[in-house]
Structure 1
Amino acid sequence: MDPDIRQTLTAWLERESLDAVLLTAPASVDWASGHEISIETGHNPFAGGPNVLLVERDRATLLHPDCEAPDCAALQLTGLAYASYTPDDSFAPSRHYRETFKELIAGQANLGVELNSLPADLADLFGAAQRVDGQLDPLRMVKTPRELAAIRRSLDLCDHAQAILPGIVRPGRSEMEMWGELRTALEARAGSRLPFICDFVSGPRTGDIGGPPNNRQIAAGEWILADIVPRLGNYWGDICNVIPAGEPTARYRELKKIASDALDFATSLIKPGAIAGEIDRQVRDFISRAGYPPYPHHTGHGLGVCYHEAPRIVTGDNTPLAENMVIALEPGVYFPGECGVRMEDIMRVTATGAEVLTKHRQS
C-alpha cells in the first residue's frame, strides 16, 4: 500500500470522524491496496463477491478468494481469504464470502461503506454504517510520487506504440493485422500480457470518432486513428495520433494541424486553479473559430487506476486543477462518414503549468 495513499485515507477518516472505511468500488480497492485486478479473464466464476478493502487507522485488510491470493505482505496489507474453488460438491463461494465478510467487519461500530458495489444480500450487515459512495473519488485526483512513476511506465508503452506504428501502417493491410502486430510488440516490451482499450480505425471509420479494429484494409492516402490505452500494473496509459498509409495527403495535413494546434492551446491552459469546464469551453471555441465542427466528446479527463476518471474536462465540471493531477487532453475534428483526426497528450499539472508526459509529438 502506497504510504502516501495510506496517509491520505487516514486523514480522510479523521475529517469524517470515522474509525474505518470499507472500500468496495473496484477503482477504490485497486487504488488503495495496490492489488492488480484482473480484467481480461472477466468475472471470476469461483468468487463469491467482489474483493473489498477495510482501511482502519493502523492497518488495511483485503478480503479475497483463496484461488487468487495476492502477495499481501508485499502490498503491506493483511489478507483475509475465503474458500472459493473446491474440487467437490462443497463449492459454495457466496456462502463462504458472506461468512468471511461478517468476520471482516465484526466490531466495526463507526464505519463508512461504499455500498453501491456490494451485493444486495449483504446490506443487512451494516446497520448504521455511513454511506460514502463517491466520496473517495476526489482523493484519487492528485497523484503520489509512486503513482506518477507507474503512470510514466504505462506512457512509455504508449510512446513506443506511436514510434513503431509508422512502420506497421501500410496500404493493403487490415486493421486487425496491424493491431495484432502492434499489440504483440507492446506486450513483448512490457514482458507480460496487457489489458488494452483501443480505437484503431481507418478511412471513413475515423469520422465516427473510433472503435475497435476489424478486417477493413487501409488504402493509400488514408490514415489510422490510433488511440492506444494499455494498463501496466494498476495504472493506465493513453495516447492518440493519426498515422498515414503511404504519402500524407493535403487533407491529412490540414486536419492533423488543426487538431495539434488545438491540443497545444489546451496544454497552455493547464495550471493549478484552472477550472476543468472552462478549459473545455475555450478549446471548443478554438476549434469553432478555425471553422471546424464541434467534436462530440470530452476535451479531456483524469488518468490513473481508471482510464477515465476525475477531473473531467467537460462542460459543467467546476473542478479546479491542482498540482500533480494527471490530465489527458484530446481535441479532435470529425466529418462523419468521411474522415476524422484526434490528437492526445498526457500531462502532469505542475506548480506553474503543465509537464507533458507523452513524448511522441516531441520526437
Structure 2
Amino acid sequence: MDARRFDTAVYARRLAAAMAATADSGLDGLVITPGEDLRYLLGSRAHTFERLTALILPAGGEPSLVVPRLELASLKGSAVGELGIPVRDWVDGEDPYQLVTAALGGTSAATAVTDSTPALHLLPLAVMLGVLPVLASGVLRELRMIKEECEIDALVQAGAAIDRVHAQVPGLLVPGRTEADVAADISEAIVAEGHSEVAFVIVGSGPHGADPHHGYSDRTLQAGDIVVVDIGGTYEPGYHSDSTRTYSIGEPNDDVAQHYSTLQQAQRAAFDMVRPGVTAAKVDAVARGVLDAAGLAEYFVHRTGHGIGLSVHEEPYIVAGNDLPLAAGMAFSIEPGIYFPGRWGARIEDIVIVTDSGARAVNNRPHDLIVVPVS
C-alpha cells in the first residue's frame, strides 16, 4: 500500500457511504473528476487534463472508472486495484462521455458532478446525458465535513508540525531582513518539520499586516513592526496545517497591546463556544461580539473560520448566516483578526476539532503577542 494514503478499508467505507447518499438524494449517480473528492474516495492523485478521467458512482450499481489509456499510470498508488473497481480505458478517437453515460444507465440520468469538474468536461457530458448535472457538494459535504479518526490523526500531526515551524519564527524576524527572506526560511522549515510541501506563506510586516492575504514582499523588517505570520503545508496523506501567530519586533505600544488583548479574548470566546449543536454562525457572532464591544468590529473584515482537510479551505465555514449545527468530527479554523489599513494588523488562528463535549485545538503555540527582542 502507498504510504501516502489510508488503508483500503477506509476508501471502501467512503464509496459505500457516497453511493448511499446519492440514492438518498434521488440522484441516479455521481461523476467524480480529479480533485480532492476523487482523492477522498479513492486516494487518487490524478490530475484534470483535456482528456476525461472520471469515477462513476451509479446509485443502483457498481462503481467504475473511465481513464485515458495514456493516463493509466495516474492510478498507481490509489486504492482502485485493491477495491476491484473496473477500469474502462479509452483512446483518442473514442468518446469518453458515452462511456460515462452508459455507466449511469443511459440518457436523462439525474447526475451530480464534483465542484472541480471543468466546463471542458461538464458541457459535453450534459449534451450526452440530455440534462444538466447538479453539483455533488450536497451529497459529499456531510461525508467530508465529519472527519474519521485517521483524518483527525493526520490533522493533529500537521498541527504539531506547523507549531514547530512557528517556534522558529522569532529567530527569523531580524530587522534588515525582507519579508521574502523570512518566507524562504519558513518554507524550508515547513518541509523540514514533516510536511510534504508548502501550501502557503504569509509574512505581513507593518502596514502589510493589514492585508489579510498579503503574501510576502521585499519590504525590509523594522524595529517596531507588528508581523502577521500565517503558514501552512500539506501533511501526508494530503491533510493540511494552517496556523497564524502575530509577532512584535520590539515592545509594542500601548494601543497595539490593548487591541491585541481584545483579539485574544475574541479568539478564546469563539473557541469556548464550540460544541456539538452550536451553529457555525454563533461561533462567528461570539468572536465578532467581543471585538464589537471594544469598538473594533469594523476592523474584522473576514469570517471567523473555514473547514480544513484535503483542502485548505472547505466546509464548514464559520461565518454569519451559516446555521449549520456543529457536530463531533468537524475540523475548522478559528481565526479572528483586526486590520488597520496603512498601519498594522493582527490575527490568531488555530485549527480545532469538534469533540463530543467541546473543542480540541491541534495548534498549541502561545496566543500572546510574541515579542522579538531587538538587539
TM bucket normalised to smaller: 0.7 to 0.9
- Spell out the pairing of 1:195-274 with structure 2 (5 A cutoff): 195-232=198-235, 233-274=237-278
Among 307, 317, 330, the alignment partner of 2:335 is 330
Q: CA shift at 1:208, angstroms?
A: 2.4
Among 3, 6, 24, the alignment partner of 2:15 is 6
Q: Answer yes or no: is the 8 Å Cα contact 2:162–2:193 preserved in 1.
A: no
Which residue of structure 1 lines up, in the alignment, with residue 3 of structure 2? none
Q: Answer yes or no: is the 8 Å Cα contact 1:155–1:238 preserved in 2.
A: yes
Among 272, 275, 285, the alignment partner of 2:279 is 275
Hey, what's the Cα distance between the residues in 2 that align with 1:237 and 1:5?
A: 23
Q: CA shift at 1:37, angstroms?
A: 5.7
Q: CA shift at 1:362, angstroms?
A: 7.5
Greater shift, 332-341 or 19-28, is seen at 19-28
Spell out, residue by residue over 1:26-78, the C-alpha distance to the aligned partner (whole angstroms, 9 max, x if none). Answer: 3322322222366xxxxx7xx32464322357754444553551325545454
Which residue identity is paired with 1:27? E
- Spell out the pairing of 1:32-51 with structure 2 (5 A cutoff): 32-36=41-45, 47-49=49-51, 51=53
Q: CA shift at 1:196, angstroms?
A: 1.4
Gaps of 5+ in 1: 39-43, 84-92
Decide whether aligned partners of structure 1 residues 101 and 250 sit closer, same or farther in structure 2, where only a CA change above 3 A counts.
Answer: same
Q: Answer yes or no: is the 8 Å Cα contact 1:62–1:79 preserved in 2.
A: yes
Hey, what's the Cα distance between the residues in 1 that align with 2:148 and 2:293?
A: 38
Q: CA shift at 1:7, angstroms?
A: 3.7
Which residue identity is paired with 1:329? I
Decide whether aligned partners of structure 1 residues 267 and 126 sit closer, same or farther in structure 2, where only a CA change above 3 A counts.
Answer: same
Q: CA shift at 1:8, angstroms?
A: 2.2
Matched position secondary structure for 1:170: coil
Spell out, residue by residue over 1:253-297, the C-alpha distance to the aligned partner (whole angstroms, 9 max, x if none). Answer: 333322221111000100101011122122211111123243110
Hey, what's the Cα distance between the residues in 2 that align with 1:206 and 1:166?
A: 16
Which residue of structure 1 lines up, in the alignment, with residue 5 of structure 2? none
Q: CA shift at 1:132, angstroms?
A: 4.3
Spell out, residue by residue over 1:182-220, the C-alpha distance to the aligned partner (whole angstroms, 9 max, x if none). Answer: 10121123264x141233210111122231111111101
Greater shift, 229-238 or 319-328, is seen at 229-238
Which residue of structure 2 lines up, in the alignment, with residue 41 of structure 1? none
Q: CA shift at 1:164, angstroms?
A: 1.1
Decide whether aligned partners of structure 1 residues 132 and 167 sit closer, same or farther in structure 2, where only a CA change above 3 A counts.
Answer: same
Q: Answer yes or no: is the 8 Å Cα contact 2:263–2:337 preserved in 1.
A: yes
Which residue of structure 2 lines up, in the alignment, with residue 53 of structure 1? 55
Which residue of structure 1 lines up, in the alignment, with residue 25 of structure 2? 16
Q: Answer yes or no: is the 8 Å Cα contact 1:5–1:144 preserved in 2.
A: no
Hey, what's the Cα distance between the residues in 2 that align with 1:328 and 1:125?
A: 41
Which residue of structure 1 lines up, in the alignment, with residue 315 of structure 2? 310
Spell out, residue by residue over 1:276-321, the C-alpha distance to the aligned partner (whole angstroms, 9 max, x if none). Answer: 1122122211111123243110011211122122221111111110
Which residue identity is paired with 2:99? E
Decide whether aligned partners of structure 1 residues 277 and 218 sit closer, same or farther in structure 2, where only a CA change above 3 A counts.
Answer: same
Greater shift, 326-335 or 24-33, is seen at 24-33
Q: Does residue 174 of structure 1 match 2:183?
A: no
Hey, what's the Cα distance between the residues in 1 that align with 2:193 and 2:62?
A: 36
Decide whether aligned partners of structure 1 residues 257 and 59 sit closer, same or farther in structure 2, where only a CA change above 3 A counts.
Answer: farther
Hey, what's the Cα distance between the residues in 2 that align with 1:328 and 1:73?
A: 29
Decide whether aligned partners of structure 1 residues 267 and 20 sit closer, same or farther in structure 2, where only a CA change above 3 A counts.
Answer: same
Which residue identity is paired with 2:35? P
Which residue of structure 2 lines up, in the alignment, with residue 87 of structure 1? none
Hey, what's the Cα distance between the residues in 2 that align with 1:210 and 1:132?
A: 28
Q: CA shift at 1:167, angstroms?
A: 1.4
Greater shift, 280-289 or 211-220, is seen at 280-289
Decide whether aligned partners of structure 1 residues 179 and 33 sit closer, same or farther in structure 2, where only a CA change above 3 A counts.
Answer: same
Q: CA shift at 1:249, angstroms?
A: 4.6
Hey, what's the Cα distance between the residues in 2 that align with 1:298 and 1:143?
A: 22
Q: Answer yes or no: is the 8 Å Cα contact 2:329–2:355 preserved in 1.
A: yes
Give the RMSD, CA atoms, in angstroms.
2.9
Greater shift, 58-67 or 207-216, is seen at 58-67
Decide whether aligned partners of structure 1 residues 351 and 177 sit closer, same or farther in structure 2, where only a CA change above 3 A counts.
Answer: same
Decide whether aligned partners of structure 1 residues 335 and 73 sit closer, same or farther in structure 2, where only a CA change above 3 A counts.
Answer: closer
Q: Does residue 141 of structure 1 match 2:145?
A: yes
Matched position secondary structure for 2:268: helix
Decide whether aligned partners of structure 1 residues 273 and 161 sit closer, same or farther in structure 2, where only a CA change above 3 A counts.
Answer: same
Hey, what's the Cα distance between the residues in 1 that align with 2:111 and 2:124?
A: 18
Q: Does residue 287 of structure 1 match 2:296?
A: no
Among 158, 167, 177, the alignment partner of 1:154 is 158
How high is the sequence identity, in percent, across the aligned residues? 25
Matched position secondary structure for 2:137: coil
Among 40, 52, 55, the alignment partner of 1:31 is 40
Greater shift, 161-170 or 341-350, is seen at 161-170
Hey, what's the Cα distance between the residues in 1 that align with 2:280 and 2:182?
A: 36
Hey, what's the Cα distance between the residues in 1 that align with 2:331 and 2:17?
A: 18
